[in-house]
Amino acid sequence: MGKNVGNILQAAQQGGYAVGAFNIHNLEMFRAVTDAAAETHRPVYIQTTPGTVRFIGAGYLVALFKEALKQAQVPLILHLDHGDSVEIVKECLAAGYPSVMIDGSRLPYEENVALVREVVALARKQGAAVEAELGEVGGTEEKELPGSGSTSLTDPEQARSFVAETGVDSLAVAIGTAHGVYRGEPHLDLDRLDLIKSAVNVPLVLHGASGVPDRQLRDAISRGICKVNIATDLKLTWARELRRSLDEQPKETDPRKVLKPVIAAVKQLVQDKISLFRE
Ligand code: 13P
């Protein structure tokens, strides 16, 4: 696995805490996340979906990432979240991403294994790390559709063979979370998490963490989750604060003045999550 990425996740695994992984969609959200990391002196993942890669461009994202690395003095990882094809993985690796996810969770087991093996071989050539998913976290990371929990939970024994057969560096598990806004309170299957944790030794990742009560998140972290993905909470905060800012300054047209309180609110949210994931 990429040396830095590996060190960061292994330190989390040994230390019993989780690294926050935050999905960004524009420069302001990028800055909110990296400033939060710098101020809390904690590493973070800056995550981009294929949609965000298309929206901003892999080259621009890597250029921003390199600049942030110079300034932050804290480990940062630029990560492709839910890569949905070998092509997007190749594009991100070629641009300089140190970490990618290939999501074959909707494929039959053998096809998921074959896809992940292919991506692991590509990533190894560049020393990049690979995350994959087994079982299916409900909803989609691109939409705020109501999530109703994982659609197919990770089988611990299958996780053992999946990790052995693919050589993947970290594993996203389906234990009851879903992407998007929950309809009711989610209930994580922590007994299943214990079984997965004893079956595999790679760091485990929790997707769909927006809206999961703090207590459940902390329990999941204490039982082996090393990376926690948050997207929807950032988008909700972003949209709510942008509306508020425009409403409160109806005559203001300067984007810098409109966006300043929005960036501050997203940064605060990220700082709160970072503190929750590692007390
Ligand atoms: P949420 O949108 O529920 O925070 O999920 C984020 C995620 O898992 C991104 O991969």
Secondary structure (3-state) at 91: helix
Does residue 2 carry a pLDDT above 80?
Answer: no
Does residue 48 carry a pLDDT above 90?
Answer: yes
Secondary structure (3-state) at 256: helix
Query: Considering 35, 81, 189, 233, which one is annotated as catalytic?
Result: 81
Q: Which helix (H) or strand (E) holds 79?
A: strand 76-83
* Angstrom distance (rounded) from CA 200 to CA 198: 6
- pTM of the complete model: 0.95
Question: Between vectors from CA 123 to CA 121 and to CA 179, what angle results, nearest 5°?
Answer: 110
Q: Which helix (H) or strand (E) holds 214?
A: helix 214-222
* pLDDT score of 51: 98
Give 212-229 pLDDT, tens digit per residue.
999 999 999 999 999 999
Domain that holds residue 61: 3-277
Least confident of 10-19, 39-48, 86-95, 136-145: 136-145
CATH of residue 82: 3.20.20.70
Pocket lining for ligand 1, CB < 6 angstroms: 23, 81-82, 141, 179-180, 207-210, 229-233
* Angstrom distance (rounded) from CA 73 to CA 71: 6
Q: Which of 232, 235, 273 to mutate to test the pocket of ligand 1 (most atoms within 8 A of CB)?
A: 232
Q: Residue 254 class from Cβ within 10 Å (0-12 exposed, 13-18 middle, 19+ buried)? A: exposed
- Of 193, 201, 162, residue with least CA distance to 177: 193
Does residue 4 carry a pLDDT above 90?
Answer: no
* Number of the ligand 1 atom closest to the C-alpha atom of 232: 2
Give 30-42 pLDDT, tens digit per residue.
999 999 999 999 9
Question: Between vectors from CA 127 to CA 123 and to CA 133, what angle results, nearest 5°?
Answer: 45
* pLDDT score of 211: 95
* Angstrom distance (rounded) from CA 30 to CA 72: 12
* pLDDT score of 279: 83
Give 239-264 pLDDT, tens digit per residue.
999 999 999 999 999 999 999 999 99
Specify the number of domains making up the chain: 1
132 within 8 A of 113, measured Cβ to Cβ: no
Q: Which of 19, 22, 23 to mutate to test the pocket of ligand 1 (most atoms within 8 A of CB)?
A: 23
* pLDDT score of 136: 83
Question: How many angstroms separate the alpha carbon of residue 38 from the centre of ligand 1?
Answer: 22
* Number of the ligand 1 atom closest to the C-alpha atom of 23: 9
- Of 69, 29, 72, 66, residue with least CA distance to 49: 29
- Clarify whether 81 is annotated catalytic: yes
**In the 8-state DSSP scheme, what is residue 176?**
S
How large is the angle between the packed helices 156-166 and 190-199, nearest 10 degrees? 40
* Angstrom distance (rounded) from CA 105 to CA 175: 14
Question: How many angstroms separate the alpha carbon of residue 143 from the centre of ligand 1?
Answer: 10
Question: What is the arithmetic mean of pLDDT over 68-73?
Answer: 91
Q: What percent of the chain has pLDDT over 70?
A: 95
* Angstrom distance (rounded) from CA 109 to CA 136: 11
Q: Residue 253 class from Cβ within 10 Å (0-12 exposed, 13-18 middle, 19+ buried)? A: exposed
Q: Whose CA is nearest to atom 5 of ligand 1?
A: 208
Average model confidence (pLDDT) for the chain?
Answer: 94
Give 118-165 pLDDT, tens digit per residue.
999 999 999 999 999 999 887 766 665 555 555 689 999 999 999 999
Q: Whose CA is nearest to atom 8 of ligand 1?
A: 207
Question: How many angstroms separate the alpha carbon of residue 230 from the centre of ligand 1?
Answer: 5
Q: Which of 82, 141, 204, 205 to mutate to test the pocket of ligand 1 (most atoms within 8 A of CB)?
A: 141
DSSP strand pairing (204-206 vs 225-230): parallel
Tell me phi and psi for residue 230, to 5 degrees.
-130, 120
* pLDDT score of 183: 85
Question: How many angstroms separate the alpha carbon of residue 254 from the centre of ligand 1?
Answer: 31
Give 152-210 pLDDT, tens digit per residue.
899 999 999 999 999 999 999 999 999 999 888 899 999 999 999 999 999 999 999 99
Question: How many angstroms separate the alpha carbon of residue 23 from the centre of ligand 1?
Answer: 8
